[in-house]
Amino acid sequence: FQLAGRAHLLLMEAKNGHLSIAELLIQKGARLDLQNDAGHTALHRAASRGHTELMKTLVKAGAPIHTLDLKGKTPIHLAAENRHLKSVKLLVEEEARQSESHRQNMFLHMAAMEDDWRLAELLLQSGATVDALNSQDGLTPLHIASMQGHTDTVIQLLHNKAEPGVTDRLGRTALHWAAFSQVDSCVVDLLLSAKADPDATDNEKKTPLHLAAMEGKVDVAISLLSHRAKRRARDMDGSTPLHYAAAGGHVSVVTALLQPLNNKGTEDRNAWRKTPLHAAAEKGHDSVALRLLEAGAKINATDHNKDTPLHCAARGGHHKVMKILVNWGQAGNVGWRNKANLQAKNNIGKTPLQVAETKHTPEHENTAILLKRKMNLIISLHSNKFLLLLMYPNSHLLTPNSSVL
């Protein structure tokens, strides 16, 4: 026979389970990786029929166990679909043996990725290790199912004693990945019910709440908060979840974080001494800036460069944020001491107006115009006040809290 002819014949005999003929063809050099029009190898065909002894011969001869057919299925998929438990067990054992030397991904990870909980169940019954780590990222099947939002597979894995606290190479647990990737809290709730630690920290000291805040996952954040996740936890940069929610413009998450804090946390500073209001101003998130101000954020707080939030908004040309900041305190709902200081200078001696004027985009020009108008108005008001003081030195209307100011 020619080699190709032997390989095609091997495909046929694998389906029929003719062990002796298959052994002869293998001895004669038949290719074990040849695929037919459906993408099936000899191992696919033997697995689909549950010919376990023939599968042993193929595997021992070096038949690939991870080859995908045209539908993206490996031999173990076909064995599992047809409930050939012995065939599944054989492939699980062979993969475990190969994984020690070749560090290949495992079938259970594949089932988790595809949300094939029935395959996962069969694999676990066949001896698959529930918390096995893959070679590339150190992910367990529970990590993968959680980040994909595969609820049924998460339930199956937890039922089989998967450990929620196992960490990957980033130091993240399954709860970290669920908080980072899922819009609703279903998987998060399952993991928390399985005693996952809501305050576990990854390699950057981020908790699941940091990641939920970063991605704007309000339902997840609320669920974590209901399990007493630390609202003011700090990562390696000193940033809290509120910093990340503010920087991302996630006003619903900001509100959720502020409510259980009774509006505390607005003055928490990161490694650069920035408050959440700085973060919102830098990114141009006007609705977040307003919510933080309503919660009592200090409008003139300075970071390590002595920049106020006004400097940050000016640098980015964020006109809407600038408008909120310069007008804050005029509606009579806050004291005059919480008004933005338009003359504040940073560590290189620049005011917000001077910062805005360093760039020449339309946004920065509009921001500069707004600042100039506001400053001219203040100068005019102070001039009028001076004249009024000369005329009515004892008037109660000229106190610092007066709306004339």
> In tens digits, what is the pLDDT along the chain, a chain of 405 residues?
444 555 677 777 677 777 888 888 888 888 888 899 899 999 999 999 999 999 999 999 999 998 999 998 889 888 888 888 888 889 888 887 776 544 445 789 989 999 999 889 988 988 889 999 988 899 999 999 999 999 999 999 999 999 999 999 999 999 999 999 998 999 999 999 999 999 999 999 999 999 999 999 999 999 999 999 999 999 999 999 999 999 999 999 999 999 866 667 999 999 999 999 999 999 999 999 999 999 999 999 999 999 999 999 999 999 999 999 999 976 554 544 578 999 999 999 999 999 999 988 999 999 999 999 888 766 554 444 444 444 545 545 445 444 433
Q: Is 179 exposed, middle or buried (0-12, 13-18, 19+ CB in 10 A)?
A: buried
State the total domains in the chain.
1
**CATH assignment of the domain containing 1:** 1.25.40.20
What single-letter DSSP state applies at residue 135? T
Residue 187 lies in a domain: no
The torsion defined by the Cα of 320, 323, 328 and 330, in degrees rounded to 10, comes to: -140
Residue 58 lies in a domain: yes
Q: Is 322 exposed, middle or buried (0-12, 13-18, 19+ CB in 10 A)?
A: buried
Rounded-to-integer distance, Cα 211 and Cα 195, Å: 19
Residue 223 lies in a domain: no
The single-letter code of the amino acid at 154 is V
Residue 65 lies in a domain: yes
Q: Is the pTM of this model over 0.85?
A: no
Q: Phi and psi of 131, rounded to 5°?
A: -110, 25
Domain that holds residue 19: 1-104
Residue 373 lies in a domain: no
Q: Which three-class secondary structure state does DSSP give residue 93?
A: helix
Residue 73 lies in a domain: yes
Rounded-to-integer distance, Cα 214 and Cα 220, Å: 11
